[in-house]
Amino acid sequence: MIVEKISVLAITKNGVDIGVKLKEIFPYWKVYAPSKFSKDKEIIWYSEPTSEKITELFKNSKALICLFSLGAVIRLIAPHLRDKKQDPAVIVIDDKINFVISVLSGHLGGANELTQTIAEKLNSTPVITTAADVNKTIAVDLLGKDLGWKIEDESTVTKISAHMVNEEKIGIFQDIGKTNWFERLPKNVKFYDSLDELKKSDAKGHLIISDKIITDEIINNSVIYRPPSLVIGIGLHWDTSKETIKDGIETCLKKFLLSPKSIAKLVSIKKPNDVQSLIDVGKEMGIPVEYVERDELASIPAPNPSEIVKNYEGTSSVSEAAAIKISGGKLIVEKQKFPPNLTIAIARIMS
């Protein structure tokens, strides 16, 4: 469920009472209402026109819950709509708490899930109209989101979603990532054991779950999901530059046809002082950096140990051993050298 800023907007006396009730159930939510109803210190009272207040809340909230009519809400938010990646979840609750309606950003914004949660707490009827939810099928744009999966190219999502909700044949190929993501597949969806089998199938659309770069034309009718499966082991000096590290990672991924969207962690040896350039790369790429103690690395068998590295770091392997250790899986790219001060290895987390 959404945990960031959630705003509740009431504009009637009944709405204020509902807002107070929501505040009791969800203490961290902020409830706003016109100052003319001022009576409860738990409410944030405003004096400006509601059209101005809703604009502010729409722009600054992750979810906006409106306690007045759906038509009025639509008219008020319409000028501010952008797209489903940016718009907040918008939910409407009627004046008698009969219905909790998911209005906007049902999937990506989390409005559908939040609607279900509120309706359960208020003993109301949830109203959700997104096709995937109504038809109890796979929500293509949400698949794997809770597992940290990323979509490679969202331009095909709408097309494949249409195939899904219209119950046309959908083929799935998965070679990495958690496999328990759907309890019961819809009747129009079938798994295939290989990419070749998927290509030969009569499926109208495809869901491909992999960390490998796919260049075949099958991608034109596919949504490709990238699980966080790759651990990048990095051996470096204190003066290795940020650009050198980034270039080395990019070179390895391209050479071995691996997706950068599947990088789970950057890992290296724990030094007396963390290397700032590695910290900067992690921040820039949005990827966590993890360190392994020298003694732990020394206990990991690596295919390409080095006496030079051992003399310098106290262990014969950094990039390979760190990647193996943190992934708990299999080394898929052995040590790649970028003289004079960088090595990179890649291991795959086996789910």
Same domain for 76 and 22: yes
Mean per-residue pLDDT, 283-300: 96
Indicate the residue among 226, 248, 269 that finishes a domain: 226
**What would the two tokens of residue 128 be?**
């959700």
pLDDT (0 to 100) of residue 133: 66
Range of the domain at 83: 6-129
CA 325 to chain centre: 25
Each residue's pLDDT tens digit, 70-125? 999 999 999 999 887 789 999 999 999 999 999 998 777 888 889 999 999 999 99
Q: Are the CB atoms for 291 and 268 separated by under 8 Å?
A: yes
Domain boundary among 103, 129, 155: 129
How many CA atoms within 13 Å lie on the side-chain side of 260?
14
Residue 162 shares a structural domain with residue 90:
no
Q: Please report whether residue 35 resides in a domain.
A: yes
Average pLDDT over residues 220-228: 97
Verify that 307 and 342 share a domain, yes or no.
yes
Beta bridge partners of 337: 343
Counting the structural domains of the chain, the total is 3
Q: Report yes or no on 139 lying in a domain.
A: no
Q: What is the pLDDT of residue 115?
A: 92
pLDDT of residue 326: 97
Residue 170, in any domain of the structure? yes
Task: Taking residues 11-16, report their average pLDDT.
Answer: 92
Whether the pLDDT of residue 351 is over 80: the answer is no
Across 328-347, average pLDDT:
96
Based on the fold, state whether residues 90 and 18 are members of the same structural domain.
Answer: yes
- Assign 3 a pLDDT band (cuts: 50, 70, 90): very low
Angle at 84 between CA 78 and CA 88, to 5 degrees: 65
CB count within 10 Å of CB 177 equals 21
Lateral strand order in the sheet of 342-348: 289-292, 263-269, 230-236, 342-348, 330-338
Tell me the chain's radius of gyration from C-alpha atoms.
25
pLDDT value for 208? 97
pLDDT at 2: 41
Q: How far apart are alpha carbons 37 and 196 in whole angstroms?
A: 66
pLDDT value at residue 110: 83
What does the mean pLDDT of the chain come to? 92
* CATH number, residue 123: 3.40.50.11220
**Residue-wise pLDDT tens digits, 295-324:** 999 999 999 999 989 988 989 999 999 999
Nearest of 145, 199, 154, 133 to residue 177 by alpha carbon? 145
Pick from 13, 53, 14: nearest CA to 32: 53
Q: Exposed/middle/buried for 31, CB within 10 Å: 0-12, 13-18, 19+? A: buried
Nearest to 230 by CA among 258, 268, 252, 207: 258
For residues 214 and 239, state if they share a domain: no
Q: Give residue-wise pLDDT tens across range 134-161.
A: 667 888 988 998 899 999 999 999 999 9
CATH of the domain at 165: 3.40.1390.40
What confidence score (pLDDT) does residue 338 get?
97
Decide which of 257 and 132 is more confident. 257
Q: What tokens were used for 246?
A: 């980034």
SS3 content of the chain, % helix, strand, coil (to 5): 35, 25, 40
Tokens of 103: 């209005």
Contacts (Cβ under 8 Å, ≥6 apart) of 37: 10, 13, 16, 43, 45
In sequence order, the β-bridge partners of residue 269 are: 292
Give me the phi and psi of 31, to 5 degrees please: -110, 130
Report the distance separating Cα 174 and Cα 176, nearest Å. Answer: 6
Residue 341: pLDDT over 80: yes
Nearest residue to 293 via CA among 263, 271, 260: 271
Whether residues 11 and 94 share a domain: the answer is yes
Residues 227/191, Cβ–Cβ less than 8 Å? no
User: 141 near 178, Cβ under 8 Å?
Assistant: no
Q: CATH number of the domain at 336, please.
A: 3.30.420.180
Q: Which of 321, 295, 328 lies closest to 235, judged by CA?
A: 321
Q: Which whole number is the average pLDDT over 182-201?
A: 92
Distance CA 14, CA 16 (A): 5
Label residue 1 by pLDDT band (50, 70, 90).
very low
Please indicate, yes or no, if residue 137 is contained in any of the structural domains: no
